[in-house]
Amino acid sequence: MRPVRVYSGWFRAVLPTMAAGLVLGLLIFGQASAETAAPSSDSSRLWGALVAEAKAFHLPTRFLEQIPAQFVVFEFEDLHAFAAEYHPAEHRMVLDRSLSLNAAGRTLRPLARLTHKELETLYHELFHAYMDFLEQERAPSATQASFMAFAREQQRCRYQQVLITPVLQKKDLKEERFLSETESWEALNETWAVFVGWAIWTQLEVEKKGARELRSSGRSLNVPAWIARLSQAEQDASLSGYYEPEDPGEKAMARKRFLAPDFRLSAQELLLLMKEVLGSSADMIRQADQAMKRARAVPASRGACEAPAAS
């Protein structure tokens, strides 16, 4: 019996220490869990506020409302090259602190207090988040699946063999490139994101005059002015994307390679983005189609797909 009494005495002696250690461990674990959950919770609230503000501000929310509130993690940092970055591997949206309320790096400034260029940049990155979400979605709707199938077809027939402009200021100077799977998918994503950002900036610019009258009447957009700017953008072949070369040698020479005018956004792509991303009306899409046909001054036949746009 003595060994038992010795063991019991030892157990009684160490029990308070074990209990204290357990309590401390639970506190640390709880704190770590809270710290881990906090960014997700804050990001969900930020996302909800962003979508609500965008809707109240008459900005497109059709694609934003498809993304779960907890999908994107928002962070604020002192960025140097860009005002915002999206990292699909971690579903992480990094915004410059200047975009945060009082530059405190806690939450986004109200959309009404962002400049038109800042909103263009924000929507550009939000579109990247949307494409990331669609890639990750295991049970996409029929519309989402059709959208992604169209994107993959465009990647194959428009963005794998392209022409680039080595010198951005000289669009007539072109070089041929055969893009990898990663490069071609990035080229498509950036081309589409350029248009989405441009569409938001253009909407805000054309509403600058008479904005009160437009919003008080319930109209969200000056359609004729928007279409006129689309025609000009098509004439200038300005809705072109870019990609980051994978080859280290080429990347050392140029971080971005810009697509030539021949490989700018096609009419098929633009009309689908207007419908499924921007949520444009059927009449506005019809007017955009007519404008693209009238304004197409720079042929894009080398980059055209034979496949029709998804319905």
Cα angle at 62 between 239 and 135, to 5 degrees?
75
Average pLDDT over residues 4-31: 43
Cα–Cα dist 125/92, whole Å: 10
**Where does the pLDDT of residue 22 fall: very low under 50, low under 70, confident under 90, or very high at 90 and above?**
very low
Among residues 262, 222, 212, the alpha carbon closest in space to that of 240 is found at 262
Cα–Cα dist 222/219, whole Å: 8
pLDDT at 220 over 70: no
Q: What is the pLDDT of residues 246-289, one digit of tens each?
A: 999 888 888 899 999 999 999 999 999 999 999 999 999 999 99
Cα–Cα dist 164/254, whole Å: 12
Identify the weakest region by mean pLDDT among 11-25, 65-79, 264-278: 11-25
- Report which residue type is found at 118: E
pLDDT at 230 over 60: yes
Cα–Cα dist 96/75, whole Å: 9
Cα–Cα dist 34/39, whole Å: 9
Among residues 151, 194, 160, the alpha carbon closest in space to that of 302 is found at 160
Q: Where are the domains of the chain?
A: 1-107, 140-303
Is residue 125 within 8 A of residue 85, CB to CB? The reply is yes
Q: What is the pLDDT of residue 311?
A: 44
Q: What is the pLDDT of residue 218?
A: 52
pLDDT at 292 over 90: yes
Q: Tokens at residue 155, please?
A: 């990647």
Q: What is the pLDDT of residues 103-157, one digit of tens each?
A: 888 899 999 999 999 999 999 999 999 999 999 999 999 999 999 999 999 999 9
Give me the residue label for tokens 């005059």: 209
Q: What is the pLDDT of residue 72?
A: 96
DSSP string, the chain: -HHHHHHHHHHHHHHHHHHHHHHHHHHHHHHHHHHHHHHHHHHHHHHHHHHHHHHHTT---TTGGGS-TTTPEEEEE--SS-SEEEEGGGTEEEEEGGGBGGG-SSSBPPGGGS-HHHHHHHHHHHHHHHHHHHHH-SS--HHHHHHHHHHHHHHHHHSSEEEE-SSTT-TT--EEEE--HHHHHHHHHHHHHHHHHHHHHHHHHHTSTTHHHHHHTT----HHHHHHHHHHHHHTT----EE--SSHHHHHH-S-EEBPGGGS--HHHHHHHHHHTS---HHHHHHHHHHHHHH--S--GGG--SSPPP-
The crossing angle, in degrees rounded to 10, of helices 142-158 and 267-276 is 160
Q: Tokens at residue 306, please?
A: 């034979």
Q: What percent of the chain has pLDDT over 70?
A: 78
DSSP string, 252-277: HH-S-EEBPGGGS--HHHHHHHHHHT
Length of the chain: 311
Cα angle at 274 between 271 and 275, to 5 degrees?
90
Is residue 239 within 8 A of residue 195, CB to CB? The reply is yes
Give me the residue label for tokens 């029929």: 142
